[in-house]
Amino acid sequence: MQEPQFEFMREFLLQQSGLVVEESKMYLLRTRLQLLVREHGLADLNALADKIKVQRNGELANQVVDAMTTNETLFFRDQYPFDALRDVMLPECTANNGSAIRIWSAASSTGQEAYSIAMTVAEALPGAAKRVHIVGTDISEQALQKAASGKYSQIEVQRGMPARLLIKYFEQDGNNWSLKPEICNMVKFKGANLVSPGLAADMRANGPFDIVFCRNVLIYFAVDARLEVIDNLARCMREGGFLVTGAAEIPRGQHSEWKSVPVGNRNLWRLVKKP
């Protein structure tokens, strides 16, 4: 890929989704966008960049953002957030909050995290699952469609999923596995851009959230965008609400304040002051 086209794509992805592609990571574009180049019958990545330059908001531009931001994920990834949900967050929310409990999977990709949350809730609060509302958001339309279908391949359902829960919450059709309606119906999916100034307004109908999962997402944003994302999340939460980040991610906002809550050898975060 030629330098000007690479520079344009870096700038385009940063503007469109807050995604930072480092100068040394041209290969990322090559591996993730090659299929699109082929599907659209384009000569190479340069031709793809030139096409996006002409139409920054078209279908192809959306597909590029999709391909660059969709990350492969697995059920119950890292396990400890789901243990902390069961042992710390849900008990506290049920004690403090007689009404609904609102949980947000803020970069839900193809849905595994949101559904892992739903299964954890169903296991921990069997009678009270109807009180819990879970929403999954992502910037990628394609990922959202797959998430909403609740359908996974035999390989996907075996990554991170305990066999006991697979038996309990899935229906099998050959090599395809579908979540049962009792889990699917606990989760709604919608499009949202975490760096958009309109995020709080977009999420108002679903919040304010008691618990937010936003894991392994901040690392992809530039430093300024990270501050914005954290403040944006805080605007959608209630004070005292929990934030779950990736192990190495510390929430720092410009206008929000957080404190850490140690759980085992990891940290959860609580919102002390809203922006």
Partner 1 sequence: MFGKVMVVDDARVVRVSLGRIMKSLDFEVLKCEDGQQALDTLREHPDVKLVMLDWNMPVMNGYDFLVSIREMDEHKQQPMVIMVTTEASIPSMMKALAAGADEYVMKPFDIEMIKSKLDLLGVAYQQ
> Which residues contribute to the site for partner 1 (CB under 8 A)?
74, 76, 79, 154-155, 158-160, 162-164, 166-167, 172, 175
Query: Shortest Cβ distance from residue 154 to partner 1 (Å)?
Result: 6
Q: How far is the CB of 197 from partner 1 (least distance, A)?
A: 38
**CB nearer to partner 1: pick between 92 and 123:** 123
Q: How far apart are CB 260 and partner 1 at their closest, in Å?
A: 24
Other C-beta atoms lying within 10 Å of the C-beta of residue 147: 24
Give least dist CB 194 to partner 1, A: 27
In whole angstroms, how close is the CB of 187 to partner 1 at the nearest point?
22
Pick 91 or 162: Cβ nearer partner 1: 162
Write the DSSP assignment of 220-261 as a string of letters. GB-HHHHHHHHHHHHHTEEEEEEEE--TT-----SS-EEEEE
Nearer to partner 1, 175 or 265 (CB): 175
Which residues are within 8 A (CB) of 173 and not within 5 positions of it... i.e. 6 or more apart? Answer: none
Nearer CB in complex with partner 1: 113/210 = 113
The β-bridge relationship of strands 257-263 and 176-179 is unpaired
Q: Are 61 and 52 in contact (CB under 8 A)?
A: yes
CA–CA dist 255, 159 (Å, integer) = 38
Q: State the nearest-atom distance from the C-beta of 177 to partner 1, in Å.
A: 10
Question: Residue 98 has which token pair?
Answer: 């007689």
Please identify which residue in the block is written with the tokens 């949900």: 85
Alpha helices in the chain (DSSP H): 3-17, 26-39, 45-54, 59-69, 80-84, 90-96, 112-124, 141-149, 154-158, 163-169, 181-184, 199-203, 223-235
Residue closer to partner 1 by CB (options 6, 169) is 169
Q: From residue 167, how far is each of 30, 120, 125 by CA, in Å?
A: 39, 15, 19
In the complex with partner 1, the residue whose CB is nearer, 51 or 159, is 159
